[in-house]
Amino acid sequence: MRCLRILSLWLVGLLCALTARGQDGFDPANPAEPGVPPVPLVLQASPADGGRLSGAGRHVPGTKVRVGATSNSGFVFTQWTDTKGQPVSQSASFDFTKGSAPDTLVAHFRFEPGNPAEPDEPSLIQYFTLTVQAGTGGSVSGGGRYQAGKSVCLSASCQQNFEFVAWVDAEGAVVSTQPSFDYTTRPRSETLTAQFRFNPSNPSEPSVPVLSHNLYYEATEGGTVSGATRLREGESTHVSASANTGYKFVRWLKDGEPYTELPSFSYTMETADVTFRAEFVYNPDSPSEPSTPEGLKYAFYLMSAVGIPGEMVDFPVYMTTLDELCDMTFQLTFPQELVPDMTSVEMSDKAEGYKVSAVATSDTSYVFTLTEGRLQPGNALLFRFRVAIPETFPTAQSRLVKINQVSVTEPDGNHLTASTRNGRIYVFANGDTNGDGSVDVSDKMNLISYTLGEETDVFIPEVSDVNRDDQFDVTDAMGVIEIALEGEATTTQEP
């Protein structure tokens, strides 16, 4: 907890520098040099809250970059230097000629408050960056910007089947053999690395880490599939295919090759990613129904929605039509714990003029009937409604919403069926930006990477805008830290 509080104070300074770094635009002044790759120009403020900087980004070597420093209230700009303290310019704004290697410029500010009662000059306090990183097999915490001589709690946590070895500095010298210890910072920026060693508890296990791989699922029209999406080698999952009304399951393909004709089976993860494809065939109970799914001109499909426990989530129903349609009916089946609000149905412009009724056929199923309207050809939102997510709903999980028993009526009175695609409602805790089931420092770092345009493995926008202002910035990152400090993080529960 103390480390997290220190880290949250450091975040504001870090984001000022990172925001400047994020002003990234490759627009060389000389179009005749397209083959020269741009290189970074990083700008830093000292102290971090002394002012705002402009001109950072990636620029073509040899081009002139307009670099600017604007003082915050109570501060005065003094000079630009490089990271070694060598003066570069005394002007707040100047043209910097970009070199062929990454450059870092530091804008120095002096604290000069207008009110003598304000605190002493903070620019006399110098801060240094302590970077902590983890080797394969664990994670670390405790890095940030600190004064020299500050005692900082550093902590390393091991993954399963790994053990901690030591903390080492940039030269490889051992700093500590304890996974958690108090480190006294020095008057310079430093990097410390936590090293781990693979050491399975079972001596018969392999001498290298057990890897995890992805499982991908596909389905032809007429059904849905389920199963784990990532497993460690040797772990097993139950894979299942479910046919929609009027369809039947045919077979599973594994990486394009026939695998089994059983709709459900147990699969043990092998040594590489795998793709399973479920095939369905149209097989209506009534011979009067169309004889082939290829002849279907209409399709209902549900989309995925993301929500937060204790809140409402909008759930849309879409429709694709090749010809005009009149009346239509279909059934939606919801998970037991997710309750739709049928009073919140909102029709789209595409379905203007329809009257909608929803009749409950069970605790979880509703039959929708749309009458007295006409739907024009096209592909668009049909209507939406809201679904309540209980506060006790487990996070980092999803539930299937099914659509079936479809019937549509053409203008000439002809009754047809339509193809369907089911949807899902995903539930994550507010601030769980990476969807791992907990809110912690990794979510903050994931959010920072996303705002800077860097690649992230997973980013969930619906729960990353913590303060609900329709943008991702430093206040959201601070909100993530506050949630973690207040103990509001939610742990994944097995369904």
Res 124 pLDDT > 60: no
pLDDT tens track for 338-377: 888 878 888 888 777 888 888 887 778 888 898 988 888 8
Distance CA 425, CA 399 (A): 5
Q: What is the 3-state secondary structure (H, E, C) of the chain?
A: CHHHHHHHHHHHHHHHHHHHHCCCCCCCCCCCCCCCCCEEEEEEEECCCCEEEECCEEECCCCEEEEEEEECCCEEEEEEEECCCCEEECCCEEEEECCCCCEEEEEEEEECCCCCCCCCCHHHCCEEEEEEEECCCEEEECCEEEECCCEEEEEEEECCCEEEEEEECCCCCEEECCCEEEEECCCCCEEEEEEEEECCCCCCCCCCCCCEEEEEEEECCCEEEECCCEEECCCEEEEEEEECCCEEEEEEEECCEEEECCCEEEEECCCCCEEEEEEEEECCCCCCCCCCHHHCCEEEEECCEEECCCCEEEEEEEEEECCCECCEEEEEECCCCCEEEEEEEEECHHHCCCEEEEEECCCCEEEEEEECCCECCEEEEEEEEEEECCCCCCCCEEEEEEEEEEEEECCCCCEECCEEECEEEEECCCCCCCCCCCCCHHHHHHHHHHHCCCCCCCCCHHHHCCCCCCCCCHHHHHHHHHHHHCCCCCCCCCC
Distance CA 130, CA 125 (A): 16
Q: Kindly state the tokens that stand for 302.
A: 């549900």
How far is residue 402's CA from residue 374's CA, in Å, rounded to a whole number?
Answer: 25
**Residue 107 has what pLDDT?**
92
Whether the CB-CB separation of 44 and 80 falls below 8 Å is answered with: no
For the beta carbon of residue 340, count every other beta carbon within 10 angstroms.
19
Does pLDDT of 120 surpass 50?
no
Whole-model pTM?
A: 0.42
Q: Collect all residues with Cβ–Cβ distance below 8 Å to 70 and sequence separation of at least 6.
A: 51, 52, 53, 54, 92
Percentage with pLDDT > 70 across the chain: 82
pLDDT for 28 equals: 42
pLDDT at 201: 62
Q: What percentage of the chain carries pLDDT values higher than 90? A: 13
- Could you tell me which of 4, 9, 159 has the C-alpha nearest to residue 489? 4
Q: Which residues of 393-426 are buried (b: 16+ CB within 10 A; e: fewer)?
A: bbbbebbebbbbbbebbbeeeeebbbbbbbbebb
pLDDT at 202 over 70: no
Q: Model confidence over 441-484: pLDDT tens digits?
A: 888 888 888 888 887 778 888 888 888 888 888 888 888 888 88
What sign results for the dihedral spanned by CA atoms 89, 94, 100, 104? positive
- Report the amino acid identity of residue 492: T
Q: Residues with Cβ < 8 Å from 178, sequence gap 6 or more?
A: 167
Q: Are 168 and 176 in contact (CB under 8 A)?
A: no
pLDDT at residue 30 greater than cutoff 60: no
Which of 125-129, 231-235, 259-263 has the highest average model confidence (pLDDT)? 259-263
If phi > 0 it is left, if psi is from -120 to 50 it is alpha, else beta; for residue 453 that is left
| Distance, CA of 96 to CA of 462 (rounded, Å) | 40
Look at 244 and 488; give whichever has higher pLDDT.
244
- What average pLDDT does the chain have? 79
Instruction: Reply yes or no on domain 296-427 having CATH 2.60.40.680.
Output: yes
Note whether 403 and 367 are within 8 A (CB): no
How much is the pLDDT for 13?
53
Residue found under tokens 């903070």: 122
Average pLDDT over residues 125-132: 77
pLDDT bracket for residue 282 (50, 70, 90): low
Q: Domain-by-domain residue ranges, the chain? A: 2-124, 127-198, 212-282, 296-427
Contacts for 194 with CB less than 8 Å, ≥ 6 apart: 132, 133, 134, 135, 138, 140, 156, 164, 166, 167, 179
